[in-house]
Homo-oligomer: A and B are copies of this chain.
Amino acid sequence: MKREDLKKLIDVAAGREVADLVIKNCRIVDVGSGEIRQGDIAIVQGLIAGTGDYEGREVLDARGLYAIPGMIDAHIHIESAFVTPEEISRLLVPFGTTTIIADSHEIANVAGLTGLAYLLDAADKATLHIECVVPSCVPATPFENAGAILEAEDLEAPLADERILGLGEFMNFPGIIHADPAVLDKIMAAKKANKLIDGHSPGISGKELCAYASAGILADHECSTREEMQERLANGMYILMRQGSACHNLEDLLPMVTERNARRCLLCSDDRQPKTILEEGHLDDHLRKCVKHGIHPVTAVQMASLNAAEAFGLKDRGGLFPGKRADITLVNNLGEFKAKHVFIDGVEVARDGRYLPQVEGADISPVRSSVQDKHFSIDKLKLKQKSRKVHAVDIP
């Protein structure tokens, strides 16, 4: 922030200067006090100057609408939606999402750091705030034929990049539990860079979970039972309650949320495909389910905003407070959470489900032609049967 911008912000907040935009007469869902109050939101230079009674050069009358902080998906793989960063922006923003924590595992698994570099550049150009982590486990297991291998030394440069929040989901949990040397090197690289380490620890418990958590793991999005959730909370981990296209954990976990642990509970998609998004929405879908299961609407909104901002150290957002980014979603009510207007950095970017920015595709040439099989023929897809029975994997 520049000094003159700080002055302007204070001048608008104090009422000495007129705001760029004022959202008038909305019901402000205040994740700080936990209450809902009537008021205006004054915006200047992309930031919230204040809430109360303000005048603006531009005014939006939001009577009857609820203003909630722009929603934050705490863990999502853009690649799982089969689209580019600018297209995930177009998909998610109309539902009220303004920030995603993007784990670039898949693209890095195919295209290594070139893939990550492409993702960061494309993310910079997207309207949606796309906050990236560098994948910790490329390949995910040594049995994989991945397109890249990222060792600790390969992670040092990305971890030093200010656009990178930290290490992505540490899928190699056995490696941590057994203090595998190469894994320790990766953990140390993140600690030295003072960056976070996201988690992924399905099924482990007891001392194994303690060992995993002791390495400084921030969170887990793999809980599917209340017992798993309880134990991870007790180990200091945030719980990213997942509702994706394949995995539907949110409603199983909601009964475990209490007034004293809700702050440690966040919302995420992990993998959410366009069909699911277009049919069921994004975090608005999570919020509907939360409220349906008896979570107080303000608590649910905290999960979708403040909790994620706190967990991932995004100090510039998470609440409709003076000085924060003007990432604001106006919804019809606190049961349906239908996004009527969505603002990112003070600019209206979606209205009534319509995405307003022009989508300009980033240059994808660095990651083109990544499917490489020089010896492919239709013959390779044929099932070579020795008997009339074949092994099959159960697909639920």
Contacts and interface: CB of A to CB of B under 8 A. Distances in A.
Interface of A: 1, 3, 6-7, 9-11, 13-15, 30, 32-35, 37, 47-52, 176-179, 184-185, 187-188, 191, 206-208, 210-211, 213-216, 230, 233-237, 258-261, 263-264, 296, 298-299, 302, 310, 319, 321-324
B32 A211 contact: no
Given A30-B234, A216-B323, A210 B52 contact: yes
B50 A210 contact: yes
B322 A236 contact: yes
Nearest to A299: B260
B236 A10 contact: no
A34 B319 CA distance: 23
A14 B208 contact: yes
Stoichiometry, as copies per complex, reads 2
17 contacts: A3-B184, A3-B185, A6-B179, A6-B184, A10-B179, A13-B211, A14-B210, A14-B211, A32-B237, A33-B233, A33-B260, A34-B258, A34-B260, A35-B230, A215-B323, A259-B259, A259-B299
A237 B213 CA distance: 30
The 10 residue pairs across chains A and B that have the minimum distance between CB atoms: A34-B260, A236-B321, A50-B210, A259-B259, A214-B322, A14-B211, A33-B233, A13-B211, A213-B322, A13-B214
A308 to B, nearest CB: 14
A142 B51 CA distance: 32
A358 to B, nearest CB: 31
A300 to B, nearest CB: 11
A263 B34 CA distance: 10
B260 A296 contact: yes
Contacts of A234: 30, 32-33, 35, 37, 51, 321
A211 B52 contact: no
Nearest to A54: B207
Contacts of A3: 184-185, 188
B235 A322 contact: yes
A1 B216 CA distance: 11
A32 B235 CA distance: 7
A285 B393 CA distance: 61
B191 A1 contact: yes
B14 A207 contact: yes
Contacts of A215: 6, 9-10, 323
Contacts of A14: 177-179, 207-208, 210-211
Contact of A230 (B33, B47, B52, B216): B33
A188 B6 contact: yes
A236 B302 contact: no
User: Which of A32, A216, A233, A299 has the most C-beta atoms of chain B within 10 angstroms of its own C-beta?
Assistant: A32
A322 B177 CA distance: 13
Most buried by B among A51, A215, A302, A323: A323
A111 B263 CA distance: 42
A1 B299 CA distance: 36
